[in-house]
Amino acid sequence: MSTRRPSEARHNVNFITGNAGKLREVRAILEPAIQVDSQALDLLEIQGTVEEVTLDKCRRAADLVFSTLQPTKSPTR
């Protein structure tokens, strides 16, 4: 039997942003079903299509976040 209360999040995401307004919007949409944690990272932004920029920034953020959690391992892609 679960000890989790119905109001508690069952999933969580790590939202990478330094923009407090974006964070508020995402939390308003996702919480309480999904817990939103945030981290501000200074990431290089390449020039390209929306898809190219998005994928590159996600990869850079994952590399930084995972290197902090597991210094000897890099994330698998």
Q: Provide CB contacts within 8 A for 6, sequence distance 6+.
A: none
Sign, CA torsion 53/55/25/65: negative
CA atoms of 26 and 32, how far apart (whole Å): 11
Quote the pTM value. 0.64
Which sequence spans correspond to the domains of the chain? 1-40, 44-77
Q: What is the pLDDT of residues 14-55, one digit of tens each?
A: 999 999 999 999 999 999 999 999 999 999 999 999 999 999
pLDDT value at 77 more than 80: no
Mean pLDDT computed over 5-10: 64
Is-contact 56 77, C-beta < 8 A? no
Grade residue 67 by pLDDT with cuts at 50, 70 and 90.
confident
Q: Provide CB contacts within 8 A for 34, sequence distance 6+.
A: 9, 10, 11, 12, 13
pLDDT computed for residue 57 by the predictor: 94
